[in-house]
Amino acid sequence: MIAPSRDDLRAIPLLARLSATELKLVARAAEERDYQNRVVIFREGTPCAG
């Protein structure tokens, strides 16, 4: 998997106001994944595995 760049992350409104240091931490923990259309990725209220 490919880790997203800080520029990619900054384009997400939820992450746009994070500092460079905070974005670096998110970028290290994040990985980009591709999904087919209409595939359920998660459901509200379901505990996450990570």
What is the value of pTM for the model shown?
A: 0.60
- Residue 31 has a pLDDT of 82
pLDDT tens, position by position, 2-36: 678 888 899 999 999 999 999 999 988 888 888 99
In a domain, 2, yes or no: yes
pLDDT at residue 29, rounded to an integer: 86
Do 4 and 32 touch, CB atoms closer than 8 A? yes
Query: What are the structure tokens assigned to 31, written together?
Result: 């990985």
Instruction: Report yes or no on 44 lying in a domain.
Output: no
In a domain, 23, yes or no: yes
* Confidence label for 50 from pLDDT (cuts 50, 70 and 90): low
What's the domain count of the chain?
Answer: 1
d(CA 36, CA 9): 21
Residue 4: predicted pLDDT: 81
- 40 is a domain residue: no
Domain that holds residue 10: 1-35
Q: Does residue 41 sit within a domain?
A: no
More confident call, 48 vs 18: 18
Classify residue 24: in a domain, yes or no.
yes
Structure tokens at 44: 């509200």
In a domain, 45, yes or no: no
Cβ of 33: how many Cβ atoms within 10 Å? 8
